[in-house]
Structure 1
């Protein structure tokens, strides 16, 4: 007989709200009426925290000091009771619209540890090889010229751009086969070291520019080919959940122009083309596009992902604060963006002088070799976590790196080329269990 899982107030409340939002009548209700229904289903835990399952099919925590609702994963398994909250106190942004509950499921795992499948890698290799045969005169580099040599056609850059833009967290094993495919085209070694490539997440504008420049130069056929390359790459990437949500978004933005050649030709510049692409994405893909449409919301969702990935720890808020302590915050903007539990944990580290750790003194992690030129160094973490398995470690690593990138989008802070402190420490837990065997592999890039 299959054991029945214990009843959990948060799971039950989530199921009830999902059922309501799935009802076709939900979208017909005015926002105040939806808020009234939700306000009757708020949970309160013993410590007085109030929790609401709302917009984006995610939990929100009420901050008693500011009255704000912050995205925050709940303490599942904790006793809670349902209470009625003042509907007028619920801001519209926490009330589900409907399509936001149908976001494409994805994964926060980075590409360190679990490799990309051989089939996906081979399909990208075939695409890159075909793109590499194009002429750089017909397809000049108008973006990613810091990555690729000047004689590389922009068709190759389009595949690279799709991979990096679609990745939830573009941190890769140093010899991950998916990125070694591009090795012969690179201008210089990628950021990172032999263990990890900490790669930047490009803005959508870089992908748009590749296409829009050719259209603006009176080369519509080449513009169409570049759009097709982006679509082909997105189609391949959708088979991996670490790429799927944004790959699907990219595909929905580009496909209309493939079905109707010349659709964007009358637009004056790349900025207008980008606006047109974003306008084609359905509301259910809105979360995947937050890095382009709302960088503050994107950072909040990234912090949520990080705390959720750390659910295995005794105190997820404190563990998440340890990773947030890596971020550079000279203007002290971060605490105000956090819920009160996370903020308290972060400020405790701040008082102890243990924030902004990624710019502090560095040490070598256990098990990493000494090089001829000195130690292979990574920053010392504020708080070391012990994920129970490889998948959990990869999920924390990806969420931590994605949070760092989201912080950079929000504030302009740069992620160190060798990664942030806590995530770099996790590498030592994964690098010896990789799917490949780097000792006999000479394809490092």
Structure 2
């Protein structure tokens, strides 16, 4: 007999809100009416925290100091009571319009541990080989030239850029075959340590530039080929949940180009073409594009993912604060972007002198980063299995990339301190069986 999971107030409230938003009548309600319905379903925990299941199908926690609602995973299994919150106090930003509940959930796992499915890797290997046979004179590198040698055609860069843009967190272990297929085309060794490759996440503009430059050069057929390579790559990436949300979004942006008889007048400004691509993406995929459209909201969602990935720990917010402590925050703006519970945990670490840990690290001869003085608190996190470890590493790295996109802060080439410490815990498990398990 299948065990029945214990009843949980947060899970029940979430199911109720999902059912309401899925009802066709939801679209006919005004925003104030929707707010009124949601306000009657606010949950309060014994410590006084107020929780609301709202936009992007995520929980939000009310900050009692300033009335802001922060995306935050709830303490499931905690005793709660339902209260009626003043509907007028609910900001429009937390009231779901409806399309945001249709987002592809995806996965927060990095590519450290569970491999990319073998059939996906093989299809991309074939695509990369075919792309590499193009002439660099017909397809010059106008982006990703820091990654590839000068004689590599931009068709190869289009495959690479699509993979990296679609990845939730482009951190790969050294035996990941998806990365090794690019080996002969690389300008230099990829960044990272002797095992993990902490790769940069390119902006959508880099992909746009590859196509826009060929259009300006009057090479419309080449521009069309580059768009097709991106679409083919994204189609293959749909096989893996770690790529799927942004792969879907990219397909909706690129495929219309392939159905048009002509591109029309070329853009003088690549940013204008990027804007057109983004406008083509349907509203139901909006969360996948927060990385491009709203870096602040994107950072908040990656923090949500990190806390959620750490749910196996006794205190997920304290564990998440340990990873946040790795970030460079010279202007002191990070605490104000966190919910009040997470902010308290972070401030405790700051008062103990344990923030900015990655900036304070040194490097030993064997290549492993270590802290001077006390150890980085994230080193104490011990995931129960490699899937959980990959989820934490992915969420933590995505959070670091989002912070860099938001503030301009640079990430260490060998990864943030807490992530590196977690990698050392699982390095002995690095050899995967190449099976299609995603």
Shorter chain as normaliser: what TM range? Answer: over 0.9
- Matches of 2:265 and 2:245, distance apart in 1: 27
Corresponding residue SS for 2:60 = strand
Give the alignment's TM-score, normalised by structure 1.
0.94
Residue in 2 aligned with 1:232?
Answer: 232
Report whether the alignment pairs 1:418 with 2:409: no
Q: What does residue 426 of structure 2 align with?
A: 430
- Given that 1:115 and 1:434 are in contact with CA atoms closer than 8 Å, whether structure 2 keeps it comes out as no
- Per-residue CA deviations over 1:13-54 (Å, capped at 9, x if unaligned) read 000000000011111211111000000000000000000000
Structure 2 residues without counterparts, runs of 5 or longer: 434-438
Tell me by how many angstroms 1:274 deviates: 0.5
Task: Give the Å deviation of 1:266.
Answer: 4.5
Contiguous gaps of at least 5 residues in structure 1: 365-373, 438-445
Matching residue within 387, 393, 399 for 1:397: 393
Aligned to 2:369: 378
Aligned partners of 1:379 and 1:420 also within 8 Å = no
Deviations, residues 319-369 of structure 1 (Å, cap 9, x unaligned): 0000000000000000000000000000000000000000113476xxxxx
Match of 1:50 in 2: 50
What secondary structure is seen at the aligned counterpart in 2 of 1:61?
A: strand
SS of the residue 1:52 aligns to: strand
For these two proteins, the number of residue pairs brought into alignment is 428
Report the TM-score, using the length of structure 2 for normalisation: 0.96
Contact kept in structure 2, 1:357 and 1:382, CA below 8 Å:
no
Provide Cα deviations, 1:358-381, integer angstroms capped at 9, x if missing partner. Answer: 0113476xxxxxxxxx22212443
- 1:161 is aligned to 2:189: no
- Hey, what's the Cα distance between the residues in 2 that align with 1:363 and 1:153? 36
Query: Contact 2:220 / 2:263 at 8 angstroms: preserved in 1?
Result: no
1:177 deviates by 0.8
**Which runs of structure 2 are paired with 1:37-436 in the superposition (5 Å)?**
37-263=37-263, 265-362=265-362, 374-380=365-371, 381-383=376-378, 384-436=380-432
Correspondence for 1:17 = 17
Measured in 1, the distance between the counterparts of 2:320 and 2:246 equals 25
- Measured in 2, the distance between the counterparts of 1:93 and 1:106 equals 23
Q: Distance in 1 between matches of 2:280 and 2:97?
A: 18
Distance 2:80 2:429 in 1: 40
Deviation at 1:176, TM superposition (A): 1.3
Distance change in 2, residues 1:67/1:418 (3 Å): same
CA RMSD, aligned part only?
A: 1.2
C-alpha contact 1:357 1:379 (8 A) present in aligned 2: no
CA distance in 1, matches of 2:49, 2:198: 37
CA deviations over 1:83-114 (Å, ceiling 9, x no partner): 00000111111000101001012000000111
Check conservation: 2:114, 2:432, Cα contact below 8 A: no
Deviates more, 1:277-286 or 1:260-269: 260-269
> What is the distance in 1 between the residues matched to 2:23 and 2:320?
35
Q: Tell me if the contact between 1:115 and 1:435 (Cα under 8 Å) persists in the aligned partners.
A: no
Q: 1:108, 1:398 within 8 Å by CA — same for their partners in 2?
A: yes
Contact 1:224 1:261 in 2 (8 A): no
Deviations 1:44-71 (A, max 9, x none): 0000000000000000000001110000
1:130-175 C-alpha deviation (Å, 9 max, x unpaired) = 0000000000000000000111000000000001000000000123
Contact preservation (8 Å) 2:139, 2:153? yes
Q: Distance in 2 between matches of 1:284 and 1:264?
A: 28
Per-residue deviation at 1:3? 2.5
Shift of 1:436: 4.4
Asked if the contact 2:51/2:74 (under 8 Å) is kept, the reply is yes
User: What is the distance in 2 between the residues matched to 1:205 and 1:379?
Assistant: 36
Deviates more, 1:228-237 or 1:187-196: 187-196
Distance 1:34 1:379, change over 3 A: farther
SS in 1 for 2:233: helix
User: Residues 46 and 115 (structure 1 numbering): CA distance in 2 closer, same or farther, change over 3 Å?
Assistant: same
